[in-house]
């Protein structure tokens, strides 16, 4: 099983996700995009699979601090929204969990966005 969890170490939702993965005995790599950044291709892949509405966190302070023209541009163009996410990683919903989960005799692709304890149980138990 190869899992990477993306986020910001100090985030309370991330701490819940770390605890849950540890409780389920899932080994993972952590990518702190506050320190390491994130590339546009990765964000584009997430948006292609999950949709911009799932990946872009409009409830956080970083989004609220944008001026109206930036918000309107992000709403009008997915490419603009992705560029904003790469520049302002705090606007990416946390955590993003990506990788392969061993399911019986085969590897199963995993891509989760946000912390849902029941979903983590289902995917990793």
Distance CA 87, CA 48 (A): 18
Catalytic residue from among 3, 11, 17, 112: 11
25-55 pLDDT, tens digit per residue, is: 999 999 999 899 999 999 999 999 999 999 9
Q: Which residue stretches of the chain have pLDDT < 50?
A: none
Q: What confidence score (pLDDT) does residue 104 get?
A: 56
Q: What confidence score (pLDDT) does residue 101 get?
A: 73
Burial class (CB in 10 A: 0-12, 13-18, 19+), 125: exposed
Cα distance from N-terminal residue to C-terminal residue, the chain: 12
Q: What confidence score (pLDDT) does residue 77 get?
A: 97
Q: Do strands 106-113 and 96-103 pair parallel, antiparallel, or not at all (unpaired)?
A: antiparallel
Q: What confidence score (pLDDT) does residue 100 get?
A: 85
Smallest CA-to-CA distance from 6 within 78, 81, 99, 122 is with 99
113 is catalytic: no
């Amino acid at each position: 099983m190869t899992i990477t969890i993306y986020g910001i170490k100090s985030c309370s939702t991330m701490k819940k996700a770390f605890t849950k993965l540890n409780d389920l005995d899932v080994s993972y790599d952590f990518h702190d995009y506050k320190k390491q950044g994130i590339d546009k291709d990765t964000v584009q892949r997430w948006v292609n699979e999950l949709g911009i509405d799932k990946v872009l966190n409009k409830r956080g302070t970083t989004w609220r601090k944008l001026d109206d023209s930036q918000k309107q541009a992000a709403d009008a163009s997915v490419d603009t929204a992705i560029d904003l996410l790469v520049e302002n990683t705090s606007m990416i919903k946390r955590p993003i969990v990506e990788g392969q989960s061993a399911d019986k005799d085969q590897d199963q692709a995993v891509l989760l966005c946000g912390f849902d304890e029941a979903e983590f149980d289902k995917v990793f138990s």
